Structure 1
Amino acid sequence: MTWDDMQPLLHDATIETLQMVGIATLVTLLVGLPLGILLVLTDKGGLLQNRPVNKVVGAIVNVGRSLPFVILLVALIPFTRWVVGTSIGWQAATVPLAVGAIPFYARLVETAVRGVDGGLVEAVQAMGGSTWAVVRKALLPEALPALVSALTTTVIALIGYSAMAGTVGGGGLGNLAITYGYMRFETGFMVVIVIELVLLVTLIQLIGDLLVRRLSHRGAAAGLLARLRRA
């Protein structure tokens, strides 16, 4: 297969991969972020301490993390068909991608938020801040670099998941690798797809690291300015 033959196939498959990963990332962020914060707030000593809720949510997250993605992909076929109307294509693959990534990201969020200095929480509470004020003014700003790093890790994992989804008709680069690289013995095509995936992951990691460094410097500068003002 020549490059002229590969190029349109690679273009379409790349767009499909970016679409499914992008939508799954957005859903993961919208659901996983509050879920991770809820795990912290409802834990022992948390602002909304509620052990039964924490145990239930934690159990759901653990079950979601323990299931291999391929099994989850097959198990969610009825749900996927109900949500998007089909179980084939990149649109269908988006559903199990999001479901699989949400508990993964929620645990990373929990770890990041737990690393926030408790003194900041106490300071906001001492000024009469509500639970929402603590989350908005202390937990999220201080944990932001770690949250961005966690999201970067999640996006990279989603790219790997999307490749696995392609093996069962999920579209994207994974489907292309199976259809042409494996079934048609186009070894050169398989190598090109692998290189593209490596470059895509590397680019995302570089962007994530850059954002984390900038946010960390900004947070350090803001903390220094606050201490100077108090002095």
Structure 2
Amino acid sequence: MAPDMLFNLLLKALLQTLQMVAVSGIIGTLIGLPIGVFLATSGRGELFAAPAINRIVGLVINATRSTPFIILVVAIIPFTRFVTGTSIGTMAAIVPLTIATIPFIARLIEAAIREVDKGLIEAARAMGATPYQIVTKVLLAEARPGITLALTLTLVSLIGFSAMVGAVGGGGLGDLGIRYGYQRFMPDVMLAVVVVLIVLVQAVQSAGDNLARRFDKRSRRS
């Protein structure tokens, strides 16, 4: 393939991948983050104690997370078509990506918040802080490094998922690699796609690690 044609194909596919990752990542975070906070604070004896609802939400999250992504993509095709009017293309791929992202983020956020020192929560309670203030000013503030790493891991996973939806016509780098690199036997295209994906993942991971270190009070004190 001519270098200029390959470059144009890669650029178009990269922009589609970035669109899928960005939109599904933002929507998934807006929904998954509060769910994660709820899961971390609604157990028995916790800030917003609602153990029955906690268990139900946890079961739904676990069921969604345990479904292989490619099966999820196929299973919700009617819903995807209802939301976007089509089951193929970049916009259609955003639907299963978002649905897969929400429980993933929720569990990671829950884990990050549970790592916060319980003594800080008790100290805030002793000073008369409301549960909402404890969540916003203590839990989320102290868990920022862990939350940053959780969101970084989510973006990296989304890049991999976005490549996977190429197998069902989702567009992006995965679709380019399958249609040209595999089906048309163009190893140069496949190699280029793999290199771009590696560079993209490395850039996201490095940015997330650096941001997490900035938020980490322990690293600032050392």
TM bucket, shorter chain = over 0.9
Distance 2:120 2:86 in 1: 48
8 Å CA contact 2:41, 2:49 repeated in 1: yes
Total equivalences in the alignment? 222
1:154-165 matched pairs, under 5 angstroms = 154-165=154-165
Cα deviation, 1:126-173, whole Å, max 9, x if unaligned, reads 222211101011000000000000000010000000001011000000
TM-score w.r.t. length of structure 1:
0.93
Distance 2:216 2:204 in 1: 18
State the partner residue of 2:183. Answer: 183
Distance 2:210 2:128 in 1: 36
State the partner residue of 1:209. Answer: 209
Unaligned 5+ segments in structure 1 are 225-231
8 Å CA contact 2:213, 2:219 repeated in 1: no
Q: 1:195 to 1:72 in 2, by over 3 A?
A: same
State the partner residue of 1:229. Answer: none
Q: 1:115 to 1:220 in 2, by over 3 A?
A: farther
Query: How far is 1:44 from its partner?
Result: 2.2
Cα deviation, 1:53-76, whole Å, max 9, x if unaligned, reads 011000011001100000000011
* Percent of pairs with identical residues: 49
Unaligned 5+ segments in structure 2 are none
State the partner residue of 1:149. Answer: 149
Task: Give the match's secondary structure for 1:44.
Answer: coil
State the partner residue of 1:136. Answer: 136
User: Letter of the aligned partner of 2:118 in structure 1?
Assistant: G
User: Letter of the aligned partner of 1:84 in structure 2?
Assistant: T
Q: 1:141 to 1:219 in 2, by over 3 A?
A: farther
1:40-119 matched pairs, under 5 angstroms = 40-119=40-119
User: Letter of the aligned partner of 2:164 in structure 1?
Assistant: M
Query: How far is 1:220 from its partner?
Result: 5.4
8 Å CA contact 1:20, 1:90 repeated in 2: yes
Query: How far is 1:123 from its partner?
Result: 1.8
Distance 1:170 1:118 in 2: 44
8 Å CA contact 1:14, 1:173 repeated in 2: yes
Q: 1:105 to 1:13 in 2, by over 3 A?
A: same
Distance 1:219 1:79 in 2: 46
User: Letter of the aligned partner of 2:43 in structure 1?
Assistant: D
State the partner residue of 1:168. Answer: 168
Query: How far is 1:52 from its partner?
Result: 0.8
User: Letter of the aligned partner of 2:92 in structure 1?
Assistant: A
8 Å CA contact 1:142, 1:219 repeated in 2: no
Distance 2:153 2:74 in 1: 24
TM-score w.r.t. length of structure 2:
0.97
User: Letter of the aligned partner of 1:59 in structure 2?
Assistant: L
Cα deviation, 1:60-104, whole Å, max 9, x if unaligned, reads 110011000000000111111111111110100001001001111
Query: How far is 1:14 from its partner?
Result: 0.5
Q: Which moved more, 1:43-52 or 1:183-192?
A: 43-52
8 Å CA contact 2:214, 2:220 repeated in 1: no
User: Letter of the aligned partner of 2:53 in structure 1?
Assistant: V
Which 4+ stretches in 1 moved above 4 angstroms? 218-221
